[in-house]
Chain A
Amino acid sequence: MALAAGRGPGEPRRVAYLYILPALLVFGLFVLVPLVRTAQFSLYEWNGLGASTWAGLSNYQDVFTEPQLRGAFVHALVLIVFYAVVPVTLGLLLAAAMSRALLRGMGFFRVVLFLPQVIPMVVVAIAWRQIYEPNGPLNDVLRFVGLDSLARPWLGDYTWALPSVGIVGTWVGTGLCLVLFLAGMSRIPRELYEAARLDGAGAFREFRAITLPSLRGEMAVALTLTVIAALKTFDLVYVMTSGGPGTETTVPSYQVYNNAFLLGRVGVATALAVVLTLLLFVATVLINRVGERGQR
């Protein structure tokens, strides 16, 4: 036969590269080149203006030893709880509840819960900054119901500033998770539930034995998206707190910006960016590994 061994049908492989060339060029120019340059900058000490000096790995040493930079990563980990763990859990519970009870106006609730996703983050941040103000709506409500002792300047409070930022992330992320899970649930054959019910399974058992395993793929997607959002948070912190009070709400992305553009420490900023990129990469791979394992 004409088909040579080791070659698939159709045009030769090299032609295939031509098809992806335009996309590859754009990708290379706007993603790969900047990435490599960033990695290169991270090995220098440079103020962004004048000449630079070779610094080896000392910038990376700073990232892991300077309390302020290390603190930023700790804050990012805390934010993962608010951005990823809570929304996925809430989304699951809401989806399970919504799929069981056929509410009137389901569409309406779905839209309302998804709404935060379509509002630009800066608008979200400004709105919540006002909600959290010392004399803002949140404190007004607390005082109105007699919980005066709970009222506080949320974003200026050393204990509560980070959770306050995190809760905004929860508010934004829950809708996304819910919609993903609802879509996933609609693919689960009704027969499975019927069979389970015939076998005498209750609501909780149904959820654990059918819904949860069927949603593994969706959960992987939801976790990937929300964990990435948590680790690379910038806009909320920039608008709501500028990293304050003190350094209680600094996050890696904010420190990248602060060091590169305000402090003139481009080397440290890029080293931080490289570490953050690696962290995101590892998190994504891990989550997807776990997600895939279940589907096999």
Chain B
Amino acid sequence: MTLSITRTSTRLCAAAAVALLIGACAPGDDGDDGDASSAPTAGDVATDPSELGDITLTVWDQEVREGQTEQIEALNAAFEETYPNITIERVSRSTDDLRTTLRLALSGDDAPDVVQANNGRPEMGQYVAAGLLTPLDGYAEGYEWFDRFPESVRALASYSEDGATYGEGDLYGLPQMGEIVGLYYSKSKLAALGIEPPETTDDFVAALQAAQAAGEVPIQFGNSEPWAGIHEFGFIQNQFSDADTIRNLGFGRPGSSWTSDDNVAAAEATREWVDAGYFVEGFNGVNYDSAWQAFAQGTGVFFVGGTWLVADLTSAMGDDVGFVLPPAGASDSHLVTGGISIPWAIPAKSDAKEAAAAYIDFITSSDAMTAVTEAGNLPVIEADQQTTTGLQSEVFTAWAQAGEEDLVVPYLDYATETFYDTLTVAVQNLMAGQSDPQTFLDTLEAEYSAATGS
């Protein structure tokens, strides 16, 4: 008798416990509904961090490549020296790892004070929509960021308050570096082939044929970490489609179509180049780092890559490596994928926002731009005021031209919250011959038109 009562009560207890758990609030509903209105107005921004008292500033960055670590460590040390009352606690992770952990960190109560949040819709757009980032406009006035950073740079980290519109609205982050995905080439190999760096798509194809005929690997490429494919396809698309089309597609704005003739031509050219054997054999099984290292060691005449590789490639290849904007194709201009490096933002739940803003100002100051340059990188502003040599000066020239002629087009995965996944799989399938150009474009068009309602 006693036994059965005990059993029943245990069961009741268990049932009650489960009910309690289920009855607990729905996920994400923690009472304080993302009210980011704690953002400052211009008047009350304290721009002298030394008066803020003792502060520990937690900074999450992804500056792990050669040259990046170097400059950020130097800047951190200089910041702590200038403001002894502020201690920086640096947490550095690879881009992928940061992306994974940021989501949880931003929504937690113990959020970091400064983070690098990728500016596309899959990340910054979602964070803004959820009210997890601080709009920086108030600080921007206090620190004169609006004067120093041109509209084109700020737009890449600007969203409407609900995160729905990308490219305008409030500023949510500031980048340190500019970034373009251009064409690296081996100077000695091109010289041996008797070829100049390609100006047009026709030149480029001729160079690829000559390289192949000479027994060289025309384009070194590794796509087992599939984001490389976004850059590779972007590089080709830039030669076939015009800037407006690519910008609409990339920013997820209505008005263009993935299935337009120019995009069909780009997808078909991609297939043709693969079929002709212009890419290194087995690229889907090669990872990104192996690919650029192989290029640096002499396998491959060309390598499509971003300016984040400048420091690595300079130390590996010295004077043998050159950099140009993508060849001009149908649109007759050297369109280039890129924009800004992953911008620095302030989480809405940071408890040291003023110090965080001061830190961001410090690492994007004119002195910092020089430090960025000296570590072998491309500063997002004031690049023309730096002195550089070798590969870096070629990159700076390309960046300056891209700025003057308005050639920069966005990364294609910015488009929708899940476009990264769709695009990486689609490019792998296209380049491996698993899907034809039409299927490839239809897949992308379906997601683009669903998201833009066009």
Q: What's the least CB distance linking B162 to chain A, in Å?
A: 10
Chain A residues with Cβ under 8 A from B18's Cβ?
36
Q: What's the least CB distance linking B26 to chain A, in Å?
A: 5
B258 an interface residue at 8 Å Cβ cutoff? no
Complexed CA–CA distance, A6 and B285 (Å): 67
Within 8 Å by CB of A242, from B29, B226, B280, B282, lies B226
> Do residues A242 and B225 form an inter-chain contact, with CB atoms below 8 A?
yes
Complexed CA–CA distance, A266 and B94 (Å): 23
> Do residues A50 and B417 form an inter-chain contact, with CB atoms below 8 A?
no
Which single residue of chain B is at the shortest CB-CB distance from A139?
Answer: B282
B13-55 with Cβ < 8 A to chain A: 18, 21-22, 24, 26-29, 33-34
Contacting chain A: which of B59-67, B362-370, B403-411, B420-428? B420-428
Contacting chain A: which of B128-136, B314-322, B337-345? B128-136
B385-422 with Cβ < 8 A to chain A: 417-418, 420-421
Complexed CA–CA distance, A50 and B417 (Å): 14
Chain B residues with Cβ under 8 A from A156's Cβ?
223-224, 282-286, 432
> Do residues B417 and A245 form an inter-chain contact, with CB atoms below 8 A?
no
Q: What's the least CB distance linking B27 to chain A, in Å?
A: 5
Chain B residues with Cβ under 8 A from A33's Cβ?
21
B429 an interface residue at 8 Å Cβ cutoff? yes
Do A50 and B99 form a contact, CB below 8 Å, given A242-B224, A264-B417?
A: no
B107 an interface residue at 8 Å Cβ cutoff? yes
> Do residues B29 and A49 form an inter-chain contact, with CB atoms below 8 A?
no
Chain B residues with Cβ under 8 A from A246's Cβ?
425, 428-429, 432, 434
Chain B residues with Cβ under 8 A from A157's Cβ?
284-285
A216 an interface residue at 8 Å Cβ cutoff? no
> Do residues B127 and A155 form an inter-chain contact, with CB atoms below 8 A?
no
Do A49 and B132 form a contact, CB below 8 Å, given A244-B428, A266-B27?
A: yes
Within 8 Å by CB of A133, from B100, B226, B290, B428, lies B290
> Do residues B103 and A155 form an inter-chain contact, with CB atoms below 8 A?
no
A248-267 with Cβ < 8 A to chain B: 257-258, 261-266
Which single residue of chain A is at the shortest CB-CB distance from B1?
Answer: A6
Which single residue of chain B is at the shortest CB-CB distance from A14?
Answer: B6
Q: What's the least CB distance linking B219 to chain A, in Å?
A: 14
Q: What's the least CB distance linking A132 to chain B, in Å?
A: 7
> Do residues A263 and B224 form an inter-chain contact, with CB atoms below 8 A?
no
> Do residues A40 and B27 form an inter-chain contact, with CB atoms below 8 A?
yes
Q: What's the least CB distance linking A238 to chain B, in Å?
A: 10
Q: What's the least CB distance linking B93 to chain A, in Å?
A: 13
Within 8 Å by CB of A51, from B24, B29, B420, B432, lies B29
Q: What's the least CB distance linking B177 to chain A, in Å?
A: 24
Which single residue of chain B is at the shortest CB-CB distance from A160?
Answer: B285
Which single residue of chain A is at the shortest CB-CB distance from B424?
Answer: A244
Within 8 Å by CB of A134, from B99, B100, B286, lies B286
Chain B residues with Cβ under 8 A from A44's Cβ?
26-27
Complexed CA–CA distance, A242 and B286 (Å): 12
Complexed CA–CA distance, A37 and B18 (Å): 10
Complexed CA–CA distance, A33 and B22 (Å): 10
Q: What's the least CB distance linking B396 to chain A, in Å?
A: 33
Most chain A beta-carbon contacts within 10 A, residue among B24, B122, B126, B287: B287
B3 an interface residue at 8 Å Cβ cutoff? yes
Complexed CA–CA distance, A257 and B33 (Å): 26
A217-254 with Cβ < 8 A to chain B: 241-242, 244-247
Complexed CA–CA distance, A37 and B23 (Å): 10
B281 an interface residue at 8 Å Cβ cutoff? yes
Do A258 and B285 form a contact, CB below 8 Å, given A51-B33, A52-B26, A242-B226?
A: no
B106 an interface residue at 8 Å Cβ cutoff? yes
Chain B residues with Cβ under 8 A from A13's Cβ?
3, 6
A75 an interface residue at 8 Å Cβ cutoff? no
Chain A residues with Cβ under 8 A from B225's Cβ?
242
Which single residue of chain A is at the shortest CB-CB distance from B21?
Answer: A36
Chain B residues with Cβ under 8 A from A242's Cβ?
224-226
Complexed CA–CA distance, A285 and B290 (Å): 44
Q: What's the least CB distance linking A122 to chain B, in Å?
A: 13
A154 an interface residue at 8 Å Cβ cutoff? yes
Chain A residues with Cβ under 8 A from B224's Cβ?
155-156, 241-242, 244-245
Within 8 Å by CB of A49, from B28, B284, B429, lies B28
> Do residues B284 and A245 form an inter-chain contact, with CB atoms below 8 A?
yes
Q: What's the least CB distance linking B164 to chain A, in Å?
A: 13
Chain A residues with Cβ under 8 A from B34's Cβ?
50
Q: What's the least CB distance linking A31 to chain B, in Å?
A: 13
Chain B residues with Cβ under 8 A from A245's Cβ?
224, 284-285, 428-429, 432, 434
A46 an interface residue at 8 Å Cβ cutoff? yes
Chain A residues with Cβ under 8 A from B122's Cβ?
262-264
Complexed CA–CA distance, A36 and B28 (Å): 16
A213 an interface residue at 8 Å Cβ cutoff? no
A56 an interface residue at 8 Å Cβ cutoff? no
A48 an interface residue at 8 Å Cβ cutoff? yes
> Do residues A50 and B130 form an inter-chain contact, with CB atoms below 8 A?
yes
Q: What's the least CB distance linking B411 to chain A, in Å?
A: 16
Chain B residues with Cβ under 8 A from A50's Cβ?
28, 34, 129-131
6 nearest A-B pairs in the assembled complex, by CB-CB distance: A156-B285, A153-B282, A153-B285, A156-B284, A134-B282, A49-B130
Query: Taking beta carbons and an 8 Å cutoff, which residues of B are in contact with A?
Result: 3, 6, 18, 21-22, 24, 26-29, 33-34, 99-100, 103-104, 106-107, 122, 126-127, 129-132, 223-226, 280-287, 290, 417-418, 420-421, 424-425, 428-429, 432, 434
Contact sample, A vs B, 30 pairs, CB 8 Å cutoff: A36-B18, A44-B27, A47-B126, A47-B130, A49-B103, A52-B27, A133-B285, A133-B286, A134-B281, A134-B282, A152-B282, A153-B281, A153-B284, A153-B286, A155-B284, A156-B432, A157-B284, A241-B224, A244-B226, A244-B284, A244-B424, A245-B224, A245-B284, A245-B285, A247-B425, A261-B99, A261-B100, A261-B103, A263-B421, A264-B417
